[in-house]
Amino acid sequence: MSADRPVFPEIDPDEVSSNPSGNRLFTDVVASRMSRRAALRGGTAAAAGFLVLGTATGTHGATAAEAGGEGTDSAKSDKGGKGGRGLLGFAPVGTHDRDELTVPEGYETQVLIPWGTPIRPSGPAWKKDASNTAAEQAEQVGMNHDGMHFFPLGYGRKGNERGMLVLNHEYIDQQLLFPDGPDEMTRQKVDKALAAHGVSAVEIARNRAGVWEVSESRRARKVTGTTPVAFSGPVSVNHPELRSDNEPMGTLNNCSNGVTPWGTYLTCEENWNGYFGTEDKTWEPTESQKRYGVSNSGFGYRWHLADPRFDVAVNGKELNRFGWIVEIDPMNPRAKPVKRTALGRIKHEGCAATESRGRVVAYTGDDQDGDYIYKFVGKGSWRMRRAMGQSPLDHGTLHVARFDDDGSGTWLPLVFGEGPLTAENGWQDQADVLIRTREAADAVGATRMDRPEWIAVNPKNKDVYATLTNGQGWEGKGNPRTPNPYGHIIRWREKHGDNTATTFNWDIFLLAGDPAYDDAVELDETNILGSPDGLSFDADGRLWIQTDISNSSQNVPEKGYDNIGNNAMLTADPRTGEIRRFLVGPRGAEITGMAITPDQRTMFVNVQHPGEASAAWGKPTPADPRAVSNWPDFDPEGRPRSATVAIRRTDGGKIGA
């Protein structure tokens, strides 16, 4: 790597706040709410656990209603079951630090589409020395698999056995992507890196032996860092702030995903700032660029040395073409991806789209310490919009969340001319508000959160769950989790259970961590976890939780992570609070992305960046790319590869049940 960046960062760049606002910190709101509760009960704040609903011990303390915001509406318990069985029917797997993927007894796994697999079987074959060219990479599955969805092809049984698997490729490991590593940066390397980013859409089917295979398909496609893209909504592609020397193209750092009610795929641009840099010592970031973490060195990729598109001193407005949510038609490879600007420009982790009262609602977190949670509410019926030939994602209102001490919350609109977002305060129009979404959210007084990651809507009751993966904590604050190295999962219920509402009630669903280091944590060896990130519901209401402990902390005692093991996936029953570990990944990897067939008999999960440089095991080099991991091929001359894992039960039953 470049001298600008250590082998593995001491902390992730997302763990450093770039939010200079004095807005309230969520951790302060939590602390204040806990002391209020304690005062109300004549107890002490030490009884911290009472805020935590639905932990492993099944603690169901106060409900959101206790906060007084909503009255009886929010008193509806999550314990919706009729006293019957819980949702979880498997024996939890133990933690481990081996270079191996483990699942519960009675389950089997199949590795599918590792990085470099041709998206059509007739395409260019994977070369294990990483010597595939950029043109070949453009016809192969990208690197660092992340958010994902399975779109069934055909109705009924057929749709469980064949479909389009569409998945994001969040970033790349330049040590593993190029045979000679990244020390010398060339245009060919930048081109290959861009071709390994974006989205892969592959057609897969189960063969007679029950094995999933990639099919020859006219629907298969790659969307990469150079695919032509369109812009839609309030920010036009011709906006002066989006002018650059090249055509509008590409999507980068595609983290989590969403699916619209009309069946399109949403991919989310997260740490796009990291790709840009410059050698021009006279260049200084503007206040707006600083707010988005733009700097001379970026995250150390050094693409700007070989491609002026990524030189901020040459093409500074190229930056404004990233940070959006991008809509992709999974069935039509000729349809241009569209950047939906009404949903704002942030570091979008994901996009949990749902429907309420006929409108589309989309939740999205901005994953950097001290940034915010947003909600887009479409204007009018989405069906009507589509019937009129319009996109439901181009018309509506973006909001940002404020969490209050009494357990209530408010969605603050980010609308030009409303509140502080006026011409007198320097705002030009709605396009300006959306290009500078973070600053607009600062101005309206949103609550600063501990790195919002995935958001998921419970299909059973429309409650919304969000992972706050971890935080540096905030020095000098009276916070029970300062710093907050393990993260937590919060949830909220919108007023009257209507996701279009402008107010809600919230609580904390789970405090992650290890009770050996933090006695507020109510987990045990069957379910200790840290840094929750991926979050998805299945149709039965099981909550699937995936972890992304950074490689500076994974298995490191000094970071309090020695008992938690490799990154994992767990399952929670939100009605009982029960949580069990379902899967543990290989070394250096995070577990992310969850897709499932309609019959819930095959689950697809992504293993991202196995073999990445890590404090516990060292770093891969061109001479020894296998230093940390050699999953999944274990080829003595190969290299670790991100891959999708298809999981089935040997008895053919529902996953997790």
Q: How far is the CB of 73 from ligand FEO (least distance, A)?
A: 32
Q: How far is the CB of 511 from ligand FEO (least distance, A)?
A: 20
In the bound state, the residue with its beta carbon closest to Ca ion is: 548
Q: How far is the CB of 255 from ligand FEO (least distance, A)?
A: 3
- How many Å separate Cα 179 from the centre of its chain? 29
Q: What is the dihedral of CA 385, 388, 393, 397, to 10 degrees?
A: -60
| Residue nearer to ligand FEO on the CB measure, 349 or 404 | 349
By a kind-dependent CB cut-off of 5 to 8 A, residue 404 interacts, out of ligand FEO, Ca ion, none, with none
| Residue nearer to ligand FEO on the CB measure, 178 or 272 | 272
Q: How far is the CB of 454 from ligand FEO (least distance, A)?
A: 8
> Does 318 participate in binding Ca ion (rule CB under 5 A)?
no
Which one, of 492, 519, 471, lies nearest residue 27 by Cα?
Answer: 471
| Residue nearer to ligand FEO on the CB measure, 337 or 532 | 532
Which residues does 462 contact at the CB level (< 8 Å), separation at least 6?
354, 356, 493, 494, 497, 498, 499
> Does 453 participate in binding ligand FEO (rule CB under 6 A)?
yes
Q: How far is the CB of 254 from Ca ion (least distance, A)?
A: 11
By a kind-dependent CB cut-off of 5 to 8 A, residue 170 interacts, out of Ca ion, ligand FEO, none, with ligand FEO
Return the bridge partners of 492, or none: 464, 506
Q: Are 483 and 499 in contact (CB under 8 A)?
A: no
Binding footprint of Ca ion, residue count (CB under 5 A): 3
Binding pattern for the stretch 316-355 against ligand FEO, x by CB under 6 A and - elsewhere: ---------------------------------x------
Beta strands of 296-419 (E only): which ranges? 325-328, 338-340, 352-356, 359-365, 373-378, 396-403, 408-413
Q: How far is the CB of 198 from ligand FEO (least distance, A)?
A: 14
Q: How far is the CB of 349 from ligand FEO (least distance, A)?
A: 5
- How many Å separate Cα 249 from the centre of its chain? 22
> Does 404 participate in binding ligand FEO (rule CB under 6 A)?
no
Q: Are 500 and 359 in contact (CB under 8 A)?
A: yes
Question: Can you say whether residue 2 is alpha, beta or left, with left for phi > 0 and alpha for psi between -120 and 50 degrees?
Answer: beta
Q: What span, in angstroms and rounded, lies between the C-alpha atoms of 314 and 309?
A: 8
Which one, of 360, 320, 330, 218, lies nearest residue 266 by Cα?
Answer: 330
Q: How many residues does the chain have?
A: 657
The residues in 366-395 that bind ligand FEO, with binding defined as CB under 6 A, are 367
By a kind-dependent CB cut-off of 5 to 8 A, residue 191 interacts, out of ligand FEO, Ca ion, none, with none
Q: How far is the CB of 156 from ligand FEO (least distance, A)?
A: 35
Q: What span, in angstroms and rounded, lies between the C-alpha atoms of 170 and 272?
A: 10
Q: What span, in angstroms and rounded, lies between the C-alpha atoms of 132 and 641?
A: 14
Q: What span, in angstroms and rounded, lies between the C-alpha atoms of 106 and 409?
A: 43
Of the candidate residues 548, 573, 578, 612, the single one contacting Ca ion (CB under 5 A): 548
| Residue nearer to Ca ion on the CB measure, 87 or 613 | 613
Cβ burial of 546 (10 Å; 0-12, 13-18, 19+) is buried
By a kind-dependent CB cut-off of 5 to 8 A, residue 12 interacts, out of Ca ion, ligand FEO, none, with none
| Residue nearer to ligand FEO on the CB measure, 270 or 327 | 270
Cβ burial of 104 (10 Å; 0-12, 13-18, 19+) is middle
The residues in 163-182 that bind ligand FEO, with binding defined as CB under 6 A, are 170
Question: Can you say whether residue 240 is alpha, beta or left, with left for phi > 0 and alpha for psi between -120 and 50 degrees?
Answer: alpha
Q: How far is the CB of 111 from ligand FEO (least distance, A)?
A: 22
Residue 632, preceding bond cis, omega within 30 degrees? yes
Q: What span, in angstroms and rounded, lies between the C-alpha atoms of 542 and 606?
A: 18
Binding pattern for the stretch 248-287 against ligand FEO, x by CB under 6 A and - elsewhere: -------x--------------x-----------------
In the bound state, the residue with its beta carbon closest to ligand FEO is: 255
| Residue nearer to Ca ion on the CB measure, 394 or 450 | 450
Instruction: State the amino acid at position 431 in one-letter form.
Output: A
| Residue nearer to ligand FEO on the CB measure, 63 or 484 | 484
Of the candidate residues 522, 533, 573, 578, the single one contacting Ca ion (CB under 5 A): 533
254-259 β-sheet, strand order: 230-232, 338-340, 325-328, 265-269, 254-259
Q: How far is the CB of 531 from Ca ion (least distance, A)?
A: 7
By a kind-dependent CB cut-off of 5 to 8 A, residue 439 interacts, out of Ca ion, ligand FEO, none, with none
Q: What span, in angstroms and rounded, lies between the C-alpha atoms of 447 and 469?
A: 16
By a kind-dependent CB cut-off of 5 to 8 A, residue 270 interacts, out of Ca ion, ligand FEO, none, with ligand FEO
Q: How far is the CB of 49 from Ca ion (least distance, A)?
A: 26
Per CB under 6 A, residues contacting ligand FEO are 170, 255, 270, 349, 367, 453, 533
Per CB under 5 A, residues contacting Ca ion are 533, 548, 590
